[in-house]
Amino acid sequence: MVKIDKEKCLGCGMCVSMCPDVFEMDENGKAKVISQKNTPCAKEVAESCPGEAIIE
């Protein structure tokens, strides 16, 4: 189950660029999870997230 820690998210948008089928920016400029289907991609981006905000 992929989740975003909104407190830690820096709003850089990298996860959205890397996995657009998993992440989207919300109305507050933080990432949000829109699908649990592509977890390998989410796992990869979790390692490079600058805020370490992606929990999987």
Binding site for ligand SF4 (CB under 6 A): 4, 9-15, 31, 49-51, 53-54
Run of H or E residues at 16: helix 14-18
Task: Tell me how far, at minimum, the Cβ of 50 lies from ligand SF4, in Å.
Answer: 5
Distance of CA 38 to the CA centre of its chain: 12
Task: Tell me how far, at minimum, the Cβ of 16 lies from ligand SF4, in Å.
Answer: 7
User: What CA–CA distance (Å, rounded) separates 31 from 11?
Assistant: 6
CA distances from 3 to 37, 41 (A): 13, 13
Task: Tell me how far, at minimum, the Cβ of 26 lies from ligand SF4, in Å.
Answer: 10
Task: Give 24 or 37: the residue with its C-beta nearer to ligand SF4.
Answer: 24
